[in-house]
Amino acid sequence: MNFIKAGRMEKGLIGVITLGMSIIIARPSIAKTTIGDLQRDRNVTISGQVIEISGDEFMLDGGTEQILVYLDDGKLTNLLVGEEVIVEGEYDDDDFDAISITRQDGSVINFQLASDDDDDDDDDDDDDDDDDDDDDDDDDDDDDDDDDDD
C-alpha cells in the first residue's frame, strides 16, 4: 500500500514541477489590439487568420474586421491561407506594416519597416562616396606610374 501512495505522490509531484516549469518557460502575454481599435503610428499587436495572400501583403481577418498587412521586406515566408498568426507592427495609411509575425508553432519572422531601409540606403550612399575617393587615389597612382616611364 505504501508503494501505491508513493506512486501517486510521485505523479503529483511531477505534475506540480511540470506546471511550474511551464509557467516559467511561457512567453509573457502580449496585449493585443482589435483591428477596429487601431490607432495610427503606434506599435501594436494584432492577431487573426490569414485569408488572402498577394505579393508582399496579406489580408488578416481579426474575427470582426479585416486589415491588409504589408511586409516591407517583400517576403511572405511561406505563410498559408487559413494560418492563425500574431502580427506586431504599426498601423499607417489604412494598412498594417508588420515588424514581426508569430506563427502557431511559436516561430517568429522579423521584418524591417520602410523607415529602417531608408536609413540603410543613406549609409550605402556614403559608402559609394568613399569608393569614389578610393578611385581618385587609384588615378593618382596611375599618374605616378607614368612619371616613372619618362
pLDDT, one tens digit per residue, over 124-135 is 444 444 444 444
101 class by beta-carbon count within 10 Å (0-12 exposed, 13-18 middle, 19+ buried): buried
- The answer as to whether 78 is a domain residue is yes
Average pLDDT over residues 60-65: 92
Question: 65 and 134: one domain?
Answer: no
Q: Report residue 116's pLDDT band, with 50, 70 and 90 as the boundaries.
A: very low
Within this chain, do residues 55 and 93 fall inside the same structural domain, yes or no? yes
Residues 120 and 99 in one domain: no
pLDDT digits (tens, 9 = 90+) for 80-103: 999 999 999 888 777 888 999 999
Q: Are 55 and 68 in contact (CB under 8 A)?
A: no
Q: Are residues 125 and 66 in the same domain?
A: no
Band (pLDDT 50/70/90 cuts) for residue 42 is low
Assess whether 41 and 103 both reside in one domain. yes
126 shares its domain with 64: no
Which of 45-54, 78-87, 108-117 bottoms out in mean pLDDT, i.e. has the lowest?
108-117
| Whether residue 104 sits in one domain with residue 145 | no
Question: Burial letters for 119-143: b for 16+ Cβ neighbours within 10 Å, e otherwise?
Answer: eeeeeeeeeeeeeeeeeeeeeeeee
